[in-house]
Amino acid sequence: MAIKVIITDGDPMLRQKSKDIVEITDRTVKLLDNMVETMRDAEGVGLAAIQISHPLRLAVIDIGEGLIELINPELVECTGEQTGLEGCLSVPGLYGKVTRSDRIMVKTLNRAGEEVHIDAENFLARAIQHEMDHMEGKLFTDIAEETYDAAMIEEEVEKERAEETANKEKAINEH
């Protein structure tokens, strides 16, 4: 396995449409392994093959609930709506407020070439839709209602944490 270079916004390849995998070969499996290692090294929750310069319909996702691999995925069903913050390893330093479907059903192949269906909701549904957008040459910044500087978000989270700690201390002192 190897850690690959993640290309970033401004690289024209990110705007290309990825191609279907015609046959799952040893090379496909090796590419998937490299994608997993690259995603973990970058501490991301998802990575599409195009982000490491392979315009193929492959993605790996791990939101902390186990690894999911997508090979030629297709959206079968989408319902509901969710709005939340999203980031991308190819758009460093930026978060965006993005509205997506809340529940989805996806038909995909696994690395054994078997067709599997994945039911996903909330953050996992968001992650899958984000990776499938990469396969169409789209980035979250194309559909974000607002974008925020990552440093600003981190500052806000810090402030909230500090306030929470202060409140907890206050509660302890009051007892």
Closer Cβ to Zn ion, 72 or 129, answer by number: 129
Please choose, out of 19-27, 67-75, 82-90, 114-122, the segment that lies near Zn ion by the rule CB under 5 A: 82-90
**Among 70, 71, 88, 98, contact with Zn ion (rule: CB under 5 A):** 88
Task: Kindly state the smallest distance separating residue 155's Cβ from Zn ion, in Å.
Answer: 23
Cβ neighbour number for residue 98 with a 10 Å cutoff: 23
Task: Kindly state the smallest distance separating residue 96's Cβ from Zn ion, in Å.
Answer: 11
Please choose, out of 32-40, 56-64, 80-88, 96-104, the segment that lies near Zn ion by the rule CB under 5 A: 80-88
The reply to whether 121 belongs to the active site is: no
Task: Kindly state the smallest distance separating residue 44's Cβ from Zn ion, in Å.
Answer: 8
Rounded CA separation 57/31 (Å): 12
User: Which one-letter DSSP state was computed for residue 8?
Assistant: -
Query: Of 81, 131, 155, 156, which is the active-site residue?
Result: 131
Please count the residues of this chain forming the interface with Zn ion, following the rule CB under 5 A. 1
Closer Cβ to Zn ion, 61 or 118, answer by number: 61
Could you write out the DSSP letters of every residue in 22-73? SS--HHHHHHHHHHHHHHHHTT-SEEEGGGGT--BSEEEE-SSS--EEEEEE
Please check whether residue 49 is in contact with residue 36, taking contact to mean a CB–CB distance below 8 angstroms: no
Rounded CA separation 54/34 (Å): 11
Q: Give the residue among 89, 109, 123, 132 at the shortest CA–CA distance from 3.
A: 89
**Which sequence positions are flagged as catalytic?**
131
Q: Which residues sit at the interface with Zn ion, rule CB under 5 A?
A: 88
